[in-house]
Amino acid sequence: MGIVTLPTSHRRPLAGAYIVGQRPAEERIEIAIVLRRRQPLGGAGHTRFAHREEFIAAHGADPADVALVEQFARRQNLAVTEKDAARRTIGLSGTVESFGRAFGVRLAHYESPQGSYRGRVGSLQVPEYLAGAIVAVLGLDNRPQAKPHFQFRRSRESPGAASGAAAGYTPAQVAELYNFPAGDGAGQCIGLVELGGGYRPGDLKTYFHRLGLAEPTVVSVDVDGAGNRPGGPDGADGEVMLDIEVAGAVAPRAKIAVYFAPNTDKGFFDAVTHAVHDAANRPAVISISWGGAECDWTAQAMEALHQAIEDAAALGVTVCVAAGDNGSSDGVGDGRNHVDFPASSPYALACGGTRLETAGNRITRESAWCDDPDQSATGGGVSDQFGLPDYQQTAGVPASANGDGRIGRGVPDVAGNADPDTGYQVRVDNQCTVIGGTSAVAPLWAALIARLNQNLGTRLGFVNPALYGLAAGGGALCDILSGGNGGYHCGPGWDACTGLGRPDGGKLLEALKGAD
């Protein structure tokens, strides 16, 4: 039985990390093996399944591949804890020693500026008979995989922003300024992916009461042992509350399902796949406000999560993803331009950020959000991982600002108010505050999708081709012409700061009706 390398599994240490010692041999851990589809999807943008059972039968895990993993597990003294054909996931449990022997790695205890973690370096080894069936092996390394894309308003005044913008807008005010169509999201479910933090029901009750809105139904879905844990050391409550309050204020009668998972590559994948394949809550749109630069992911983890978002497209679920808050560098600090993943997945609706200025009830100026091109600016650029999708072929995506001539997936697709100085009034941990970031744009667009679905009487699902197919100058997407994010600048048409622009919801609804 030959042993081969999984080349997409290569790991490097986190920046500034160092080994403290080896993990105890008898320490028990759990991992996930992600398997290939039984049959390739062949382009989720053109394939849509009305029934999940049909999707699973055609594109779930192949029972033969499951049997191979079970055989491997028995030989390596590993226990099978989960078999999920829809998510194409096999869960395995065992000791550090057993996993190290099974995959040819050493698991060490690392300390880093981001905290301690169980880590590995190099690539994984697997039996040759199993290699072709595996998309990814996730969870051996449990370093923090992503960061939330939200920022609190800075203390300085916000020049040029009249009519209360310096104190922030309510989500409903932004929806009104963007002419969202009538509707309250009734009959829709919005899924929110969270990799930390939590919400306090009392805060939600107070917040929506003060807005004069009915409190939306919010349910917590625990994944991999995580759950709703407000007040924790990760400081992510602001992300969770921002997501719920923006989505809930714009679509107050939509059900909001919050999927809590650990902030690891396994946790991220498991949260998204549980949301996509949740037969109980059945979200029609999912909002993700977490991510990280493509260079900080293993190729296998990116591919597994990309395929999960492609599954969503095939099942008629829209996935809105924040494009990042650290400009065109995405906060990497190596002098190059990077885009954020999973926003860079071609099946995600990547959401960039603007600065919104108003007088009275009208918009006076809107530009790309950029207070600091490295620390406080909309993400965006050209993917190093994914090629140019069909729907962007005529969008004018430029060559990468890295100077290598690459023309890949352009990020973002759309935009909305994100500057924390013109941000959103929210309530977090018993305090009222103002928060911005592209984290706010993803749930804003998710709530807009819920309203559009409600009006159309169907699910928009993978909406990117429809948005790029809208007639230029029709006003459904309002072009942002000024500002930049470091490596890229706004201009007529699509750009790598604000994509196609911010929505005019009413005109967007009419355009989508006309496209049927």
CATH number at residue 303: 3.40.50.200
The segments of the chain whose pLDDT lies below 70 read 1, 43-46, 155-166, 516
Answer for the pair 181, 452: CB distance below 8 angstroms, yes or no: yes
By C-alpha distance, which of 342, 326, 363, 216 is closest to 275?
342
The rounded distance, in Å, linking the Cα atoms of 487 and 492 is: 17
pLDDT at 281: 98
On whether both 188 and 308 belong to a single domain, the answer is yes
The rounded distance, in Å, linking the Cα atoms of 246 and 171 is: 5
pLDDT at 156: 44
Neighbouring CB atoms inside 10 A of 69's CB total: 20
By C-alpha distance, which of 279, 270, 256 is closest to 55?
279
The Cβ-side half-sphere exposure at 458, using a 13 Å CA radius, reads 13
Letter for the amino acid at 96? V
pLDDT at 158: 39
On whether both 369 and 454 belong to a single domain, the answer is yes
> Which residues neighbour 259 within 8 Å (Cβ) at sequence distance 6 or greater?
191, 192, 193, 194, 221, 223, 271, 272, 274, 275
pTM assigned to the model: 0.96
Of 83, 117, 138, the residue at which a domain comes to its end is: 138
Of 114, 138, 162, the residue at which a domain comes to its end is: 138
By C-alpha distance, which of 22, 249, 15 is closest to 119?
22
Of 84, 115, 138, the residue at which a domain comes to its end is: 138
Q: Measuring CA to CA, how many Å separate 473 from each of 108, 241, 265, 476, 492?
A: 56, 36, 41, 8, 10
Q: Which domain holds residue 40?
A: 3-138
Interhelix angle for 237-250 vs 438-456, to 10°? 30
The rounded distance, in Å, linking the Cα atoms of 454 and 366 is: 28
On whether both 318 and 416 belong to a single domain, the answer is yes
pLDDT at 166: 54
On whether both 456 and 336 belong to a single domain, the answer is yes
Sheet strands side by side (includes 79-84): 79-84, 89-95, 28-35, 134-138
On whether both 351 and 281 belong to a single domain, the answer is yes
pLDDT at 164: 39
On whether both 293 and 427 belong to a single domain, the answer is yes
On whether both 127 and 202 belong to a single domain, the answer is no
The rounded distance, in Å, linking the Cα atoms of 490 and 406 is: 19
On whether both 361 and 415 belong to a single domain, the answer is yes
The rounded distance, in Å, linking the Cα atoms of 434 and 450 is: 24
Number of domains in the chain: 2
On whether both 242 and 385 belong to a single domain, the answer is yes
Enzyme catalytic residues: 239, 243, 439
On whether both 200 and 106 belong to a single domain, the answer is no
On whether both 374 and 300 belong to a single domain, the answer is yes
The rounded distance, in Å, linking the Cα atoms of 159 and 169 is: 15
On whether both 166 and 45 belong to a single domain, the answer is no
